[in-house]
């Protein structure tokens, strides 16, 4: 069967932040340098070659881009300036658009202005909707109690509903990722037992970013880990413990201690990443896609608006606290509804899944080799 190629794939990838891949002459320095590149997943050289050849389906089914954490060493060692690290990053963006059946990711990554417009539209509708709802059933002069402008019970129900929608979108995209990388490959049989045996890989790599720690450069791993844990902690606190978080004005240290730590983590890591992208001293920060900036700005706005809302509420300034709460919701909703399902934060799901799928495939291949290994014929016993 002939292999279908896309001769325009290199040009298409430039819209996702890809550099000039034609500079690569396959010396292999990048793969030799990378501490994460090991059999059977050698990268980034094979991915660069597949891209040069326009092997769209091969790249679509590859797990390799997700196994790269972009520490930047491969780019530093490239003698041709082909920037393999940024190419792998652009491939992750491209793959995100392949998994997303709605087409929203493709629109965001190809036209950055579309995500900015979407953020403003979702934010404005959120503020307007909650303002009308609050005015219809409460009083802006009250933050707590029966006359509260934005009662926690109603917000909590809304959060749970939004969580269900986000989960449905993200899980459906994850299912497409499985189909592209595992399901449609008929060359190997993967039993359900292989998925069960390796299920621990998902929470392990999601919570610890353990594979990233194997990179020679430890600082990017530490920054990434703090950012991810801070965001996940805040997400759980808001979705599960909203009533305790928003109650008051007394401080409930059972939840607020975690909230303060998560806020500091979010602001510190976001500012570090923004500063790095401005200074451009580190390899991984020399190139920034529009979606990277939108993601970081939203993170900072979410953290700062949450801090001000918290301070105003504890100070007893209910009107100002309610206004700030509206502003906070106006950035939280775009952050969750757009980033988690269609943009940067979706990588938090795809990367652990890729590591999980790679382990499952290795397990299944090992079992297949063992099953097909020829058994030695029993030797005839010679009479004495």
The pLDDT tens digits of the residues spanning 156-203 come to 888 888 889 988 999 999 999 999 999 998 888 888 999 999 999 999
Q: Which residue has the tokens 């390799």?
A: 64
pLDDT winner (highest mean) among 202-206, 282-286, 364-368: 202-206
pLDDT at 379 over 90: no
Domain ranges across the chain = 9-99, 104-364
Mean pLDDT, to the nearest integer, of 140-159? 88
Mean pLDDT, to the nearest integer, of 263-273? 91
Task: Identify the architecture of domain 9-99 in CATH.
Answer: Orthogonal Bundle (1.10)
The Cα 138–Cα 148 span in angstroms is 5
The Cα 156–Cα 239 span in angstroms is 7
Which has the minimum average pLDDT: 72-81, 287-296, 347-356, 369-378? 369-378
Looking at residue 357, its pLDDT comes to: 95
Looking at residue 219, its pLDDT comes to: 77
Looking at residue 40, its pLDDT comes to: 86
Mean pLDDT, to the nearest integer, of 37-43? 88
Mean pLDDT, to the nearest integer, of 251-265? 88
Looking at residue 38, its pLDDT comes to: 86
Looking at residue 213, its pLDDT comes to: 82
pLDDT (tens digit per residue) in 284-308: 888 888 888 998 999 899 999 989 9
Which has the minimum average pLDDT: 17-21, 130-134, 357-361, 368-372? 368-372
Q: How confident is the model at residue 369 (pLDDT cuts 50, 70, 90)?
A: low
Q: How confident is the model at residue 344 (pLDDT cuts 50, 70, 90)?
A: confident
φ and ψ of 307, to 5 deg: -65, -50
The Cα 362–Cα 306 span in angstroms is 44
The Cα 36–Cα 33 span in angstroms is 9
Cα 342 to chain center, whole Å?
9
In 3D space, the residue among 167, 172, 166 whose CA is nearest the CA of residue 100 turns out to be: 172
Looking at residue 3, its pLDDT comes to: 62
Looking at residue 199, its pLDDT comes to: 94
């Amino acid at each position: 069967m002939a292999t279908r190629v896309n001769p325009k794939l290199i040009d298409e990838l430039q819209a996702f932040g890809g550099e000039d891949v034609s500079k690569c002459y396959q010396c292999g320095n990048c793969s030799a340098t990378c501490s994460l590149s090991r059999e059977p997943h050698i990268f980034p050289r094979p991915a660069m070659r597949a891209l040069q050849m326009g092997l769209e389906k091969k790249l679509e089914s590859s797990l390799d881009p997700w196994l790269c954490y972009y520490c930047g060493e491969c780019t530093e060692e490239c003698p041709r300036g082909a920037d393999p690290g940024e190419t792998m990053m652009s491939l992750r963006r491209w793959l995100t658009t392949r998994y997303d059946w709605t087409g929203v990711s493709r629109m965001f990554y190809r036209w950055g202005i579309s995500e900015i417009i979407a953020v403003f539209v979702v934010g404005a509708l959120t503020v307007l909707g909650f303002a009308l709802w609050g005015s219809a059933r409460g009083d802006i002069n009250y933050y707590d109690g029966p006359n509260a402008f934005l009662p926690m019970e109603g917000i909590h129900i809304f959060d749970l509903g939004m969580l269900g929608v986000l989960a449905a979108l993200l899980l459906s995209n994850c299912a497409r990722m499985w189909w592209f990388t595992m399901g449609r490959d008929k060359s190997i049989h993967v039993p359900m037992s292989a998925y069960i045996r390796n299920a621990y890989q998902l929470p392990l790599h999601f919570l610890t970013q353990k594979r990233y720690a194997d990179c020679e450069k430890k600082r990017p791993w530490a920054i990434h880990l703090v950012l991810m844990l801070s965001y996940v902690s805040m997400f759980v606190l808001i979705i599960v413990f909203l009533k305790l978080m928003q109650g008051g004005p007394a401080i409930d240290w059972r939840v607020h201690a975690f909230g303060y730590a998560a806020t500091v983590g979010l602001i510190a890591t976001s500012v570090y990443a923004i500063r790095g992208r401005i200074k451009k001293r580190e390899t991984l920060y020399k190139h920034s896609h529009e979606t990277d900036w939108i993601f970081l700005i939203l993170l900072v706005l979410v953290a700062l608006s949450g801090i001000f809302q918290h301070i105003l509420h504890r100070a007893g300034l209910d009107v100002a606290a309610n206004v700030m709460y509206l502003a906070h919701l106006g950035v939280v909703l775009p952050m969750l509804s757009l980033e988690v399902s269609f943009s940067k934060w979706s990588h938090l799901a795809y990367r652990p899944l890729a590591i999980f799928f790679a382990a499952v495939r290795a397990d299944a291949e090992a079992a297949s080799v063992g099953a097909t290994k020829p058994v030695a014929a029993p030797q005839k016993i010679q009479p004495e």
